[in-house]
């Protein structure tokens, strides 16, 4: 998954561990829409956590906590 040095450094960091845990918590929560999506490159469903960890590892200039905050806002299921 990590091809560049910056991606490998991010994935080995404490930030990545915390982000992964928060993404896993979102997946297990019924408050967020975190359905797996089909990926033609993998010919299988790509897990929510894997998709976002890959994105963050490829875009290391993004603030992971801000990204998670925005992701929670976009995937939150509103109860009306």
Nearest Cα residue to 68 out of 55, 78, 79: 55
Residues 40-64 pLDDT 10s = 666 666 788 988 999 999 999 999 9
Q: Which residues contact 9 (CB under 8 A, 6 or more apart)?
A: 60
* Contact assessment for residue 64 and residue 19, using Cβ atoms and an 8 Å cutoff: yes
Q: Where are the domains of the chain?
A: 5-75
> Which span out of 3-7, 53-57, 75-79 was modeled with the highest average pLDDT?
53-57
Rounded Cα gap, residues 50 and 27, in angstroms: 11
pLDDT of residue 43: 62
- Indicate if the pLDDT at residue 3 is higher than 90: no
């Amino acid at each position: 998954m990590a091809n560049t040095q910056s991606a490998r450094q991010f994935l080995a960091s404490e930030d990545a561990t915390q982000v992964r845990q928060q993404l896993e918590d979102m997946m297990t929560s019924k408050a967020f829409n975190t359905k797996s999506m089909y990926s033609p490159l993998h010919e299988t469903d790509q897990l929510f956590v894997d998709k976002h960890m890959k994105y963050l590892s490829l875009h290391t200039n993004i603030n992971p906590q801000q990204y998670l905050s925005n992701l929670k806002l976009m995937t939150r299921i509103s109860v009306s």
